[in-house]
Homo-oligomer: A and B are copies of this chain.
């Protein structure tokens, strides 16, 4: 019998993978048997595909905590310019700071973009004064407040 789910030469995920993923994106704990029934394959097949995708690092099934609900009221983007010879050191220091959720090396006038979560303004100001400003090698920063998230498409669509 013909297999309706052809694995593409060019994509790492085939039709079946995508369909399985689309269920799991909504609910990571949906029973494999239910996915299997909806897609007309066996539960074992679904389980195998999910396992493979996880092993390949394509798919993660994770619990995510809403930072707002967990008391994070202030989210900021801080761009950081660094003297070139100190970049590694600065990154190493930033990596140790819990308020720093994200560090990205970027093009443009600042080498680093960071996202910083704090419970309130006071925590932000003490982060900047007591931690950020004490790191050697930082030449300039640009603090941008996140006022409101207007769109967030976490789900991957082909």
Contacts and interface: CB of A to CB of B under 8 A. Distances in A.
Nearest to A92: B150
Interface string A110-144: 00110000000000000000000000000000101
- Looking at chain A's contact residues, the main secondary structure is mixed
Interface in A66-122: 66-67, 69-71, 77, 91, 94-95, 98, 100-108, 112-113
Q: How many copies does the complex hold?
A: 2
Contacts of A102: 149, 151-153
B28 A63 contact: yes
Contacts of A158: 70
A71 to B, nearest CB: 6
Interface of A: 10-13, 21, 23-29, 56-67, 69-71, 77, 91, 94-95, 98, 100-108, 112-113, 142, 144-158
